[in-house]
Structure 1
Amino acid sequence: MSADEPPQARERERVLDTVDRVSEMCFGLFMALTFVGTVSAATGGEDAGRKMLFTALGCNLAWGLADAVMYLVRTIADRARRHALALAVQRERDAAAGVRALRERVSAALDPFISDADLEAIRKRIAASETLPERARFVRADFLAALAIFIIIVLSTFPVAAPFVIFTHVPTALLISRVLTLAMLFICGFALGGYAGWSGWKAGLSMMALGVLLTMAIIALGG
């Protein structure tokens, strides 16, 4: 096992984390919902539903691609920063300076619980490592994670836009679209509540309320 594997493993776990999946799903829902809400009133004709679906899908395809690419950018930047720290600690001959460098990277929340002796033990392991790579690199899991983000955002289009294809009556389609979106937001909130140790029902209802408020704010701001 190389010294760079544990951070990569944490990256893979973070991608599959409930918070990330819920966040990406909600982002896709909000994008599609606000777009459908602003366009539906001006859309008419026999092909209105199909145009609505394709337009909303195109919007989320673009945002899904952007979000996936930015995930890769964030991933390699974070990994490069960790790698630079490991190299700096390994090359630092002054043990106290190495400990200080590690201390600067400890989060404020964990700082009181990590002693200098703990950091010194970490410094020694890094200094003794012979498997540090020359530079930070992408791994296969990074691209799979980016693909997953893209797919989640794209799939979130359909509960919002598909009713406009199924129902020709726009007000009916709009109502069903909003009901499905609220149901999806509730499911996301319920899952998030279970992950965080909160009440699933309260978290689901709170997510629904938050979704309504965010959608209203985004539409009001011209989104």
Structure 2
Amino acid sequence: MHSNLIGRVLKFIDVGDALGEVLFGLIMALTFTVGARLVAGDETLDARDLVIATLGCNIAWGIIDAVLFLIGIRIYKLDRARVFRAITSAADDKSALAAIAREFPPDEGPLTLDKRDQDEVYGYMLALARRAKPSTTTFSLDDLIGAFIVFVIVAATAIPAVIPLLIIDDKYLALRVSNVLLVGLLYATGHAWARFAGSRPFVVGMAMTGLGLILVTVAVLLGG
């Protein structure tokens, strides 16, 4: 069930982007819970206000990130249309192949190709481009679903932060539990990222935790 849900989500958003949104949401929530006591002080710290502020911040940034996600898709589609026009409107094969080489340099791809294989790949790309129709630059339903998923991820990362504040009467204990949960989730995010990338889960998990805490510290110190 769990893996099936993840598989459905990854149809609409790249796994790296999804984990990045989780990391961003956790850092936002942790900034509030870590900075709350420093800003409000022991006397005026109010758990209810902190819950509202944390949820509100992550919801707001979820909306912002969803919009930025759609802007990124729009830019990508427009750029793809520009590449298509550059290839199909070239005066001759040599110019078209040069346009392909500029857009898809062999040293930036996932594979290293020798000159013969490179020419063959570019030749196939040119033949396909001439037979293809330009793709639409408007948003698809999948794009909108992807943006909604981005919103949900960022907004939902605030939930582990606020649950202790809602169920534990001692607000200082609740704040500590909240912080521990968020730090644990930072590690879990790095661990998952490493498993996806084929790297070392423990090392990346610890590095992600350290990086997250550094970013939270910077945000708190700068009044974020």
TM-score of the superposed pair, with normalisation by structure 2 = 0.84
CA contact (8 A) 2:63 2:151 kept: yes
- Aligned partner of 1:211 in structure 2 is 212
1:146 aligns with 2:153: no
Q: Distance in 1 between matches of 2:163 and 2:37?
A: 13
1:119 to 114, 117, 122: 122
1:71-90 → structure 2 map (5 Å cutoff):
71-90=69-88
Identity %: 26
1:193 maps to what in 2?
Answer: 194
Change beyond 3 A, Cα 1:155–1:45? farther
- Change beyond 3 A, Cα 1:14–1:102: farther
Q: CA deviation at 1:162?
A: 2.4
Query: Structure 1 residue 14: deviation in Å?
Result: 7.8
Decide whether the 8 Å contact of 2:12 with 2:145 is kept in 1. Answer: no
Residue type of the partner of 1:109? E
Match of 2:20 among 8, 16, 23: 23
Q: Deviation at 1:84?
A: 1.6
- Secondary structure at the aligned position of 2:91 is classed as coil
Unaligned runs of 5+ in 2: 1-8
SS in structure 2 of the partner of residue 25 of structure 1 = helix
Secondary structure class of the residue paired with 1:217: helix
The Cα RMSD (Å) is 2.3
- Which deviations, in whole Å up to 9, do the C-alpha atoms of 1:94-119 show, x marking residues without a partner? 11111111111114422852623321
Aligned AA (2:172)? P
Residues 136-161 of structure 1: CA distance to partner in whole angstroms, max 9, x if unpaired? 12111000000000000000001122
Counterpart position of 2:32? 35
The whole-number CA distance in structure 1 between the counterparts of 2:78 and 2:207 is 37
**Aligned residue for 1:222?**
223
Secondary structure of the 1:198 match is coil
The CA deviation string for residues 35-58 of structure 1, in whole angstroms up to 9 with x for no partner, is 222234417789922221111111
Cα distance 1:43–1:221, how it changes in 2: closer, same or farther (>3 A)? closer
Report the CA distance shift for 1:82/1:205 in structure 2 as closer, same or farther (over 3 A): same
Are the counterparts in 1 of residues 88 and 129 from structure 2 also a CA contact under 8 Å?
A: yes
SS in 1 for 2:121: helix
Distance of 1:96 and 1:180 partners within structure 2: 58
Match of 2:134, SS state, is coil
Output the CA distance in 1 between the equivalents of 2:160 and 2:21: 15
User: Which amino acid letter does the alignment assign opposite residue 103 of structure 1?
Assistant: A
* 1:109 corresponds to: 108
Matched letter for residue 86 of structure 2: A
Q: Distance in 1 between matches of 2:179 and 2:112?
A: 47
Separation in 2 of the partners of 1:14 and 1:215?
A: 31
Count of matched residue pairs = 210
